[in-house]
Amino acid sequence: MEDPSLKQEMSLKTFLYCLKHLKTIGDDKVRILWWEPLLYSKIEEIFKLSVKWGFRVHTFSNFKIPVPRLEKILDFGDSYDYSRLSFNLNLNDEDFYKQGELDMIYNTLQFLREKWCSRMVSYNIYEYSHAYDFIFDVAQRFGVKDIILKVTNTVMWDKEIIDSNSREYWDYIYSMIEKYHKDFNIGFGCGLSSKIFTQEQKDFIASETNIRLKWGCENNGGRYDINTDGSVYRCFPLQSIYKGKELHITHPVFQNNTLSKVTKFIDSYVPTNIGLVEDENCLGNQ
């Protein structure tokens, strides 16, 4: 919930606007992401409000948080159905971490497993010179079945970390799918387009039931992102094109409209070439 570019946290007042909007469009899930949300000073209140209003909560985190702190955040009593809370671990290659950080991640994974919270692992692909078996080994060790593959080159005009147009890169991703598709449910996050695969590879992927056939922005289901100050973007990587024409969650369009009408309004407010299917003009799908 903390945005380093804004140097502020989302106020509870703004968060309540978000909850009211989700109720209006009939969505029962709150997605908490951006920076490290579990370190947000009001994260306990955020979870309590979400649970009180009947929402499921899906949190994106690096899991580098002491278990006693997480216990306090998730203290809803023995009668609460903790499977309504899902956590997406953003996991990197093993040598990305400092001493002690992996132990903290493992402890958090085990705690959430014992709580019966839903869990998935997102593999942030920075390069393709490292063995990816580590990612799948961690998931298997802690009973995680869902793996999301995503690229790090998704912020508009940032210098590319890896060459996402290289054949070596495409084959690196496909080799993961080929090796692990029978043991895990594999999905595709921001930056991964079906265009990177050959037709033969796409035919293989389409034939496997453990692979979720949604790509890049299509995988977002037509949603949009709300920043810590309440500004709304079609997706965070494209927020720079909204500069000077910010859209805020308090705008009337978010108060009494359906999801499809809100999404259509956002797409027309600042055209971004992002629809409900992947678009080759979207940077996140290059």
pLDDT in tens, 187-245: 887 667 777 788 898 888 888 878 876 665 555 555 788 888 898 887 776 677 777 77
Higher-pLDDT residue of 187 and 166 is 187
Specify the pTM: 0.84
* Percent of the chain surpassing pLDDT 70: 79
The 146-151 sheet, strands edge to edge:
29-32, 56-61, 85-91, 118-125, 146-151, 185-188
Q: What is the pLDDT of residues 99-112, one digit of tens each?
A: 899 999 999 999 99
Q: For residue 184, give Cα distances in angstroms to 15, 187, 214, 226, 249.
A: 34, 10, 16, 31, 37
Residue 282: per-residue pLDDT: 45
Question: What is the average per-residue pLDDT within 110-132?
Answer: 85
Question: What is the average per-residue pLDDT within 19-44?
Answer: 90
Q: With bands split at pLDDT 50, 70 and 90, how would you rate the model's confidence at 277? A: very low
**Cβ-based neighbours of 174, under 8 Å, separated by 6 or more:** 197, 201
Q: With bands split at pLDDT 50, 70 and 90, how would you rate the model's confidence at 140? A: very high
Is residue 50 exposed (0-12), middle (13-18) or buried (19+ Cβ within 10 Å)?
buried
Residue 122 has pLDDT above 70, yes or no: yes
Residue 88: per-residue pLDDT: 93
Residue 281: per-residue pLDDT: 38
DSSP string over 41-77 = TTHHHHHHHHHHTT-EEEEEE---S-HHHHHHHT---
Residue 153: per-residue pLDDT: 54
Q: Tokens 């499921």 sit at which residue?
A: 56
- State the chain's mean pLDDT as an integer: 82
Q: With bands split at pLDDT 50, 70 and 90, how would you rate the model's confidence at 71? A: very high
* Strand, coil or helix: 225: strand
